[in-house]
C-alpha cells in the first residue's frame, strides 16, 4: 500500500458525525465511523466520533473527528490537520517524515502506539500547520 496524504478535519461542538455524513452525501463513498467509547473512553464523550474516514469513488480520503476541549484547543481556522498514513512496511519512511516536519516545530504527541494499535503522533510544523502521522500495525 502506498502512503496517503489527506486532510483531517476536527469538528467543533460534537457534530463530527453530522459533518461526515454530510460530506458522504456530497462526495459519495464508504464511511467508517468509530467512537471514543469503542476505544474504552467513558463519560460524555463516549458517543462522539474519535475517527471517521470517508473513501470516495473519486479516490479521495477525508477524515473527520470530534475534538473535546479537554483534548485540544480548537478555533475556526486551526481545526484541520494534514494526515500521512501508511503501513508497517513504510514505518521508516513515515517516521522520517514525522521527524523532518517536526524540525523547528512542536511535537504535540510523540509517535507511540495508539489505542487502535497503530503508531501515531501529532505535531505542528514551523509554519503553524498541524500534522498527524499514522503507521498501521503489521498485519502478519
Written as nine digits, the cell of 27 is: 462526495
pTM of the model: 0.66
The DSSP-derived string for 75-126 is -TTS-EEEEEEE-GGGHHHHHHHHHHHHTTSEEEEEEEE-TTSSEEEEEE-T
Written as nine digits, the cell of 18 is: 453530522
Which secondary structure element, helix H or strand E, spans residue 25, and what is its range? helix 16-27
> If you classify domain 4-135 with CATH, what class do you get?
alpha beta
In the chain, where are the structural domains located? 4-135
Which secondary structure element, helix H or strand E, spans residue 8, and what is its range? strand 4-11
pLDDT tens digits, the chain, 140 residues: what are they? Answer: 678 888 888 877 788 899 899 889 977 899 999 999 998 888 888 999 999 999 988 788 988 888 776 666 666 556 677 888 888 998 998 899 899 989 899 999 999 999 888 999 998 887 677 888 999 987 65
Amino acid at each position: 500500500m502506498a502512503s496517503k496524504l489527506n486532510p483531517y478535519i476536527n469538528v467543533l461542538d460534537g457534530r463530527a458525525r453530522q459533518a461526515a455524513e454530510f460530506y458522504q452525501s456530497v462526495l459519495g463513498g464508504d464511511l467508517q465511523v468509530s467512537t471514543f467509547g469503542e476505544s474504552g473512553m467513558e463519560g460524555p464523550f463516549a458517543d462522539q466520533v474519535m475517527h471517521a474516514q470517508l473513501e470516495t469513488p473519486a479516490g479521495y480520503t477525508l477524515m473527520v473527528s470530534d475534538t473535546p476541549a479537554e483534548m485540544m484547543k480548537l478555533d475556526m481556522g486551526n481545526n484541520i490537520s494534514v494526515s500521512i498514513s501508511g503501513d508497517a512496511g513504510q514505518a521508516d519512511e513515515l517516521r522520517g517524515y514525522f521527524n523532518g516536519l517536526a524540525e523547528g516545530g512542536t511535537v504535540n504527541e510523540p509517535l507511540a502506539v495508539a489505542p487502535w494499535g497503530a503508531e501515531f503522533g501529532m505535531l505542528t510544523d514551523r509554519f503553524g500547520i498541524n500534522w498527524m502521522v499514522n503507521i498501521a500495525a503489521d498485519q502478519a
